Amino acid sequence: MTAMVKQIATEPLLSVRDLHVDFGLDEGLVRAVDGVSFDVMPGRVLGIVGESGCGKSVTMRAILQLVDEPGRITRGEIVYRRDAGDGLGSAGVDLTKLPRHGAAMRAIRGAEIALIPQEPMAAFSPVHTVGAQIVEAIRLHHRQWRPEGGGLSVNDARDIVVDLFRDVGISMPEQRVDAYSWQLSGGLRQRAMIAMALSCKPRLLVADEPTTAIDVTTQAQVLALLRELQRKHGTAIIFITHDLGVIAQMANDVVVMYLGRVVEQGPVDGIFHAAKHPYTRALLRSIPSISGATRVALPTISGTLPHPFNRPGGCPYHPRCDEKIGTVCASHVPHLTQLGNGQAASCFLHQDASETA
């Protein structure tokens, strides 16, 4: 029995394979996500990092089946492995095959896979109390609180919300549960959003740049809170950010994206101490260091992210790359190559041009 449990635990909770998300606009086709693949392991934190416009948030929205029109998933799989013993369905389900507004997807979204959005002020309704909105979510997905069946009363759900507020460090939770979002500070709104995301005991938590709109002190508190909750509940987390400092604090595994593609992935120590892709190394060089020379300009990445309607041929990073190889990088697309120690990179520095995908 123990061997069986260990075998199941080594399987990814979520597997994304060759995911493509396109936006058909009047101006042309935008390939927001272009063949992304990665795994999320149970109880671990996967950090997805890259510049604005690299496809991080669209990947997240695809996982949750929340891609807005005219965007659509055109290819690939998103396999979510449900708990085979919960009576809710098969052990593995391809989320791309589920209707986005169907009962099966709604049973997973929010309950088993939850989201912490970038801006909690926009996520909460300003005309309903924060507590009332979380109560509604809990009563909708009451199975997580009463697996034996039977609904939850409003008062029972409210008591759960008060306990959740206490768990995420909101002072005076009995009073704050009746507050509106605009009555709370940015840090309290973010904590309330975390409480809402955790309210249905999700197995996977997607945090889409949850510290972007808050000050540095509050950011440190929120990161510490997420780390503690992750350790306490064993929840897997996808942490999306452009801040490599946050990735160093939060992540076990890292995916680096550029122009809709995965350019490097691996354990956090390998990425930070032995990065293999020129883009990852350039990002790391741009991080300020307390031991660095003073009054010296930080290194920058030359050029800008290409326009989505004018994608370069070959390796998408080659126009900005200081290590490009002749005409090879401009004419061929490298594939993700396994390099050992769990690391992989999409670069001709680590593969022959004849091995193009």
Mean pLDDT of the chain: 86
Model confidence pLDDT, tens digit, residues 186-195: 888 888 988 8
Asked if 123 and 117 count as a contact pair (C-beta separation under 8 A), the reply is: yes
Q: How far is CA 159 from CA 63, 140, 144, 233, 245, in A?
A: 31, 16, 15, 20, 37
Out of 3-7, 307-311, 337-341, give the one with best mean pLDDT.
337-341
Q: State the virtual CA torsion across 104, 105, 107, 109 in degrees, nearest 10.
A: 170
pLDDT at 144 over 80: no
Average pLDDT over residues 317-340: 90
Instruction: Name 219's Cβ contacts closer than 8 Å, sequence gap at least 6.
Output: 211, 246
Looking only at the bridges linking them, the beta strands covering 28-40 and 337-340 are unpaired
Model confidence pLDDT, tens digit, residues 269-319: 999 999 999 999 999 988 777 776 777 777 788 888 888 788 888 999 999
Q: How far apart are CA 132 and CA 273, in angstroms?
A: 46
Asked if 45 and 239 count as a contact pair (C-beta separation under 8 A), the reply is: yes
Q: What local confidence, expressed as pLDDT, does residue 281 receive? A: 93
Q: How far apart are CA 309 and CA 127, in angstroms?
A: 40
The answer for 290, left when phi > 0, alpha when psi is -120 to 50, beta otherwise, is alpha
pTM for this model (two decimals) = 0.87
8-state DSSP, 293: P
Q: How far apart are CA 317 and CA 319, in angstroms?
A: 6
8-state DSSP, 215: -
* 212 CA to centre of own chain: 14
3-class DSSP state of 36:
strand
Residue 2 banded pLDDT, cuts 50, 70, 90: very low
Q: How far apart are CA 70 and CA 43, in angstroms?
A: 34
Q: For residue 177, give the nearest of 228, 113, 139, 132 by alpha carbon.
A: 132
Backbone angles phi, psi at 47, to 5 degrees: -95, 130
